[in-house]
Amino acid sequence: MAKRAIITGILGQDGPYLAKYLLAKNYKVYGMVRRYSNPTFDNLDYVGITNKIEYIEGDMGDESSLMNVIRVVRPDEVYNLAAQSFVGDSWQMAKLTTEVNAIGVLYLLNAIKYISPTAKFYQASTSEMFGLGNTKGYQDENTNFHPRSPYGIAKVYAHMMTINFRESYGLYTSNGILFNHESPIRGIQFVTRKITDGVARIKLGLKDKLHLGNLDAKRDWGFAGDYVEAMYMMLQQKKTDDFVVGTGINHSVKEFVQLSFKYAGIEDWEKYIVIDPRFKRPAEVHELKAKPDKAFKQLGWKPKVSFEELVKMMVEADLKRVKKLL
């Protein structure tokens, strides 16, 4: 019989890539969606699997809806990708971010414990939990957490609760501590998509300036399509564990900007950039760089798409998308 997987956050960036990967492995994939007045399935359309998913309603803020999802699906694997995932908004929406990203995970773990205790659970942990914990110039599974945002703090709670359900109740739970990963279906607020969409609009004459915040911040950027493979691999291990997933190489926001303009064929990039304090954060995470040796060795995972290939892929996709608006 086909294995049954639930993906929360199916309509976001990672959900569609993971669902496509699991469908190719003959899983029956259930996508949890929250109530919408006007739902959009654009990201699933982009990867071409909108009609292959069984949708079920649930909200991370509502415990009984999560109980119902687990009761109806009786999953073999649960991938918890749902979150208020934009760090920049988490100061303004600290309570909501905590309810969805922290308490929602507790609700989901309880639902699994009481209804489907043999289900394996993947939690979308994040390099944002490290924050200032960067004493060696990189972060691995042993690096201390020093989160700098309400988002990061809520994710630390969920991370530790995921470990606690493993240690207290023997559930199969795994945290993937993923560094930034991007794609042509990345949310438009995140800096990479904001840049590639902005560059495409400048190139095609729909915009003349791109407003950004801190250009010196450094991130370890990879391709989302590669990273979902690591999520799956984590749940296939004999012994449940937590893994850092990244490329091991970082770049500044400025480098991302320069390369994007270059791939769009624009040389004098500086004249289009406005440094805008609205996009600076009350407390910044200056530099993230993974040391993903454990994932490379134990999971046999490796990223396939390079930084340059990723930027090119995103610029080309946005040029194509924006051209359709003309």
Which pairing describes strands 4-8 and 28-33: parallel, antiparallel, or unpaired?
parallel
Amino acid identity of residue 34, one-letter, is R
Shortest CB 307 distance to ligand NAP, Å? 14
**Does an H or E element contain 194, and which?**
helix 191-203
Contact between residue 257 and residue 273 where contact means Cβ atoms under 8 Å apart: yes
Q: Which C-beta is closer to ligand NAP: that of 187 or that of 248? A: 187
SS3 letters across 11-36: CCCHHHHHHHHHHHCCCEEEEEECCC
Contact between residue 98 and residue 48 where contact means Cβ atoms under 8 Å apart: no
Shortest CB 217 distance to ligand G4F, Å? 3
Q: Among 47, 49, 59, 153, indicate the residue that binds ligand NAP (CB under 6 A).
A: 59
265 sits in the region (left: phi over 0; alpha: psi -120 to 50; else beta) called left
Given the rule CB under 6 A, which residues bind ligand G4F? 85, 87-88, 126-128, 179-180, 189-192, 194, 212-214, 217, 219, 253, 279, 281, 284-285, 288
Contact between residue 229 and residue 306 where contact means Cβ atoms under 8 Å apart: no
Q: Which of ligand G4F, ligand NAP, none does 60 bind, CB closer than 5 to 8 A by kind? A: ligand NAP
Beta bridge partners of 54: 30
In the residue annotation, 128 being an active-site residue is answered as yes
In 3D space, the residue among 307, 306, 289, 299 whose CA is nearest the CA of residue 122 turns out to be 299
Shortest CB 314 distance to ligand G4F, Å? 12
**Stretch 14-43 residues interacting with ligand NAP (CB under 6 A):** 14-15, 34
Cα dihedral sign for 195, 196, 197, 202?
positive
Shortest CB 1 distance to ligand NAP, Å? 27
In 3D space, the residue among 264, 118, 293, 285 whose CA is nearest the CA of residue 202 turns out to be 264
Of the candidate spans 82-90, 130-138, 266-274, 315-323, the one that interacts with ligand NAP by CB under 6 A turns out to be: 82-90
Q: Which of ligand G4F, ligand NAP, none does 34 bind, CB closer than 5 to 8 A by kind? A: ligand NAP
Answer yes or no whether residue 88 interacts with ligand NAP by CB under 6 A. Answer: no
Answer yes or no whether residue 73 interacts with ligand NAP by CB under 6 A. Answer: no
Q: Which of ligand G4F, ligand NAP, none does 66 bind, CB closer than 5 to 8 A by kind? A: none
Q: Which C-beta is closer to ligand NAP: that of 22 or that of 124? A: 124
Shortest CB 10 distance to ligand NAP, Å? 6
In 3D space, the residue among 38, 40, 43 whose CA is nearest the CA of residue 19 turns out to be 43
In the residue annotation, 54 being an active-site residue is answered as no
- Give the 3-state secondary structure of residue 99: helix
In 3D space, the residue among 121, 137, 140 whose CA is nearest the CA of residue 129 turns out to be 140
Shortest CB 124 distance to ligand NAP, Å? 3
Q: Among 12, 147, 150, 246, indicate the residue that binds ligand NAP (CB under 6 A).
A: 12
Q: Which C-beta is closer to ligand G4F: that of 28 or that of 148? A: 148
Q: Which of ligand G4F, ligand NAP, none does 214 bind, CB closer than 5 to 8 A by kind? A: ligand G4F
In the residue annotation, 151 being an active-site residue is answered as yes
Burial of 124 (0-12, 13-18, 19+ CB in 10 A): buried
Structure tokens at 69: 């999802």
Q: Looking at 8, 97, 98, 126, which residue is catalytic?
A: 126
The residue number whose beta carbon is nearest to ligand NAP equals: 12
Q: Which of ligand NAP, ligand G4F, none does 212 bind, CB closer than 5 to 8 A by kind? A: ligand G4F
Which pairing describes strands 77-80 and 210-212: parallel, antiparallel, or unpaired?
unpaired
**Does an H or E element contain 274, and which?**
strand 273-275
In 3D space, the residue among 90, 112, 79 whose CA is nearest the CA of residue 8 turns out to be 79
Answer yes or no whether residue 9 interacts with ligand NAP by CB under 6 A. Answer: yes
Binding site for ligand NAP (CB under 6 A): 8-9, 11-15, 34, 59-61, 81-85, 100, 124, 126, 178, 180-181, 187
Instruction: Name the residues annotated as catalytic.
Output: 126, 128, 151
